Structures are given as C-alpha cells and as structure tokens.
Amino acid sequence: MTDVSSITGYTQTGSSSQTSSKQLSADMNTFLTLLTTQLKYQDPLDPMDTAEFTNQLVQYSSVEQSIQMNSKLETLLSLNIANLGAQAVSYIGKVAQVLGDVMPLENGQAKATYTLDKNVSSAVITVKDMNGKVVYSEQGKITSGTHEFTWDGKDSDGNQLEDGAYQIVVTTKVPTGETSATVTTTVFGRVTGVASDSNGVYIGLGDAVTANLGDILTVRNDNYFDKVPGDGDGEGEGDGEGEGTGDVETPGDGENNENTPETSA
C-alpha cells in the first residue's frame, strides 16, 4: 500500500496541458514567421487583408487562454486530491464500511452486509477466493432489508483459511413471474493505509483490499472488529447466563441474580 506522502506528487501540473501548451507555442511561432514573411513579400499594389491576420491572432490567443485555464483547473484538482488524502489519514486504524463485494479476512474475521430490495424465495451466500474458487457457503435471510454476514475464515470443511481478500456473492431466487431482486453488498475492514493516483484517493483495507475513498459509507471506532467475536461469544455465554439478553454488560445480570436472594432474606 502506497504511503500518503506520495500524494504530494499530484500538486504538479498535468502533463496533458503542458504538452498542449508546448504544441501551441510552436504553432504560434510558426504562424508569426509565416505572417511576417508574407507581409515582407506582399504585393504593394494588392496588400494582404490585415483583418484576417488579426482574426487568426485573436483565435490563437483565445486557445492559449483556454489551455492555461485547463492547466489551472488540473492544479486545483490535484490540490483537492492531496487534501482528501491528507484528511483520509485520520481513517487509519479505524474500521470502514465500503460499498463493494471484496472483503478482507483479518485475524480470522470478516464482516459484510447484503441488502435485498424485496423478499425472495431463497438466498445463498457464497464466499470465493480471488481465484474464483468457492470456499464457503450458507443460507441467507430472505426478507427485504439489510442483513449482516460474519465469517470466521473457515471453509466448508472447517479448515482455517489464510488472511487475505475474499469475494462475497449473494445469489437469490424469486417466484416464477416476478422480477429478480437487486442485491447490494458492503464490506468492513480496518484501514491500514492511504494512497492516490491521477484518478483519486484510495484506502487499504487489511493487507489485501483497496477501496476508493468515495465508496466509504461509514467509519467506526477502531475497536469495532473487537466486538464482532463478542456476538459469537455472547451466544455461548447465553447458554448459561440467559441467551438473547443482548446487553453489553451481560455478567452484571448474574451479579444481580446473586444479590436477589440476599435482598429477599
């Protein structure tokens, strides 16, 4: 992932304007040479029309001004990209939700969401590696709305896969005669770096996924991923301490239960 310091290179003027300016300068010199030569050898009894030459000079001047304006606009755009990149540095270490279907698996954790625009008959969530091989699949929810998907990085046989980039694909079916459902996916990842090129600014998610800065939907606290395993732990603790409470401080319920007999006594 390229460091944010590389953004400073985009404060320079774009090469396209420089090339056009050089070409125009060469054409202008050629035109002036021809103009002075024609004036030098013109027929005194039939002088050339000076209005036409003046009109051509005005046109050249107008084109030159347009190219200079484009050059200034490119400079402003480069400065804007640099500014966005500098602001994006504050995202490093935080968890970003990004519009897309390639999610990073970090420390055996991956999280994504999928949104259905209508109810469907069935939904299958498939995880593929970057070679297109299906490594995991499960049944998804079929109601319209946004649903979360968490993955522990294990394949269908229970083998732990290496961290990296994986694609999430949600395949749906609808009753016969209905239009197909639209599925929108987002992925979560910890921002690890910022980079830019002539097309814009990008962030790194984990060590294997790059996303456009404009595709970021939300940015959350850096401990957001730390809470993801808690969802699974909460289910395990819920077997002994009351499943489905959903409270952050679940152990407190147990302490209150211990105090209740003492109060009654």
pLDDT tens digits, residue range 157-180?
Answer: 999 999 999 999 999 999 988 899
Higher pLDDT, 198 or 142: 142
Q: Which CATH number is correct for 95-226, 1.10.10.10, 2.60.40.4070, 2.115.10.20, 3.30.70.2860?
A: 2.60.40.4070
pLDDT at residue 79 above 60? Answer: yes
What is the pTM (predicted TM-score) of this model? Answer: 0.60
Task: For residue range 208-249, list pLDDT tens digits in order.
Answer: 888 888 899 998 887 766 654 444 444 444 444 443 433 333
Can you point out the beta strands (E) in the chain? 95-99, 102-105, 110-116, 122-129, 134-139, 145-151, 164-173, 183-197, 200-205, 209-212, 216-220
Task: For residue range 175-194, list pLDDT tens digits in order.
Answer: 988 899 999 999 999 998 88
Task: For residue range 57-78, list pLDDT tens digits in order.
Answer: 777 677 777 777 777 777 777 7
